[in-house]
Amino acid sequence: MLIVQKFHSIHEIDSEFVSSLELLLQEEVPSFLDLIEKHDKAPVGDAFTYFLFFGPTQNTPIGFAQLCLHKLPGEELINWKKKYFKFWNKDHHLWKQITWKVGEGNSGLFVFDPRFARSGREKIQELIKEYESRSEIKTQEIYYLKGLQDFQSSWQTDNKWTKERYVLEPLVKSQKCYKDYLKSLKPDIHELITSSWKDLHTKLRVELGDYPSPKETPQTIPVDEKLLKLWEKQGAQILTFEKDLKVLGCLLLHIGKNGNIFFEPFPFEAHGEALVSDELYTQYALLKFFEIPEARKCHMLKFGTKLVFDEKDDLKFFQEQGFQYKTVIQSFSSKLVNVTKPL
């Protein structure tokens, strides 16, 4: 039997649980600081609940889930007749939308130690059923991993839909070095990448920079001082593309838990005029990834989260470079006939 502990702010979670949560979420975020930042930057009025799950003999969390309650504009969603004849009924002021997802939803509905996956899923279903019975909950959004966390709402309504999202999975280190990795790619992709590197160095004279700390980057880097200080606080490293004392773009590098390495590209060149191609940002990340002895998995991020695509064909660029993907289902159901999508 699992024990559930609820927290209504991420700042309430006991510091003694942080390291265990970072291990549970090691493929979702580089550190617990990322979850704190997302919580603090959430829209005003959104209310969160974080669920920590404990086994019968564990005093550290073996599972994690979260929900967000978002107030619905009830006054706008009822028609004028109801407003006129039921002006004394103010229930619509309490209407809420509930969203179940871990982080940005890329890990789906929950994250559990594999040993507790079955009992964890059952416990989550109990929690969802409990919230579905609340009268003020009028719309519900659930993210879950296809084939692993499949879930259906118990609400009896025709106003339902599901949508598939394709989340980029990390590249797993299966070669000893970057050179061996390149050899493992299809010949045409291998040729494209090696030619791009050659042109970058010999024709364009672009140099690579590698800085262990954001404060050590060139003063010409076009990044706001506040952001540089945030990166410094997060313990990030910076990789750059430089030409004639100008920083053309950079990669943010975070070393996570158990060999999970996170990279996020920041191109600074104007679109259509870039000297550094998109694939070279990914390849520079992989070049650095293979140089890190403890590295096991290379994650590519955008806006601080994993890359998500609406169309499977859009994954081709990364699949050709060795990355995999997983399918996350975004499910929505509504008791309100005039609310057909998440608000």
* Residue ranges in the chain whose pLDDT is less than 50: 80-81, 83-85, 88
Determine the pLDDT at residue 299.
96
Stretch (H or E) spanning 266: strand 260-267
* Mean per-residue pLDDT of the chain: 91
What's 268's DSSP letter?
-
Cβ atoms of 210 and 239 within 8 Å: the answer is yes
pLDDT at 81: 46
Whether 160 and 142 have beta carbons less than 8 Å apart is answered as: no
**Percent residues over pLDDT 90 in the chain:** 75
pLDDT in tens, 8-46: 999 999 999 999 999 999 999 888 888 898 899 888 889
The encoded tokens of residue 34 equal 């990322």
Q: What share of the chain is helix, strand, coil (3-state, %, to 5)?
A: 35, 30, 40
Q: How far is CA 99 from CA 135, 138, 161, 221, 334, in A?
A: 16, 11, 14, 38, 12
Q: Which of 52, 79, 55, 48 is nearest to 63 (CA)?
A: 52
Quick one: pLDDT at residue 155?
A: 85
Q: Which amino acid is at 124?
A: I
pLDDT tens for residues 143-194?
999 988 988 788 888 788 999 999 999 999 999 999 999 999 999 999 999 9
d(CA 63, CA 82): 44
pTM of the model: 0.88
**Which residues is 141 bridged to in the sheet?**
99, 332
pLDDT at res. 44: 87
What's the one-letter identity of residue 285? A
